[in-house]
Amino acid sequence: MLQKYIPIVKFLAEALGPQFEIILHDLKNLDQSIVAIENNQISKRVQGGPATDLLLKLMKKGSDILDKDFITNYQGCSKSGKAVKGSTLLIKDDNNEVLGALCINIDISSFVQTRNELDKLINLSPEGDRQNDIETVSEKLDHSIEDLTFDAIKTILMETNIPPERMSLEEKMQIIKALNQKGIFLLKGAVSEIAKHLKTSEPTIYRYLNKLK
């Protein structure tokens, strides 16, 4: 079913121009979800790359966003730090099950820089971030599963401010719970990467996950 969207990816990329990255994701294969990508100079991602943190979160059971057909104009950030505005169309089958996603990422870094300079000139604060009606949506355009898990766990570790080797069982459980809510464990290689960062074994991570059920 996703194959028919590949010409649309190419069409949109050519019609909209090089500032628009177009990506087709297979959400039944999250570890290698990128089926097609055009204008990838924006994120440097390639075919066969994993789903983003946003898509993992969407695929977690109970996500309200799955009831929508699309989400638009959310904030993103490339691995190199470029500001990106993203929109995602969810591709569903006849039973309303999500199979894939068609995403458009616009490189707005030059516009953000111009806005910041104008703000300095006219001495006004920029408008607040636009709020999605469900929650504030953001996305990191990571290149690999290792990048994805590292960014997720780094964010959580910065919030706890405790080195992994000094964490209690309860503190590690809270981190596993937070990562699970982000959908990180939907990736096949996530347990191994997280075990490294928490300085523990893979069986221990699986035991933590079983306690959450």
pLDDT band at 130 (very low <50, low <70, confident <90, very high): very low
Tell me what pLDDT residue 118 has: 78
Rounded mean pLDDT, 61-86: 82
What is the SS3 assignment for 80? coil
What per-residue confidence (pLDDT) applies to 136? 53
Helix (H) or strand (E) holding 22: strand 20-26
Per-chain mean pLDDT for the chain: 85
pTM attached to this predicted model: 0.73
Closest by alpha carbon to 172, among 203, 205, 206, 213? 205
* CB-CB contact of 137 with 126 (8 Å): no
Residue for token digits 């111009």?
114
Which listed CATH number (3.90.1200.10, 2.60.120.620, 3.30.1650.10, 3.30.450.20) goes with 2-139?
3.30.450.20
**Rounded alpha-carbon distances, angstroms, from residue 98 to 27, 34, 58, 183, 184:** 7, 15, 10, 15, 18
Residue 31 near residue 187, CB atoms below 8 Å = yes
Q: Is the pLDDT of residue 132 over 50?
A: no
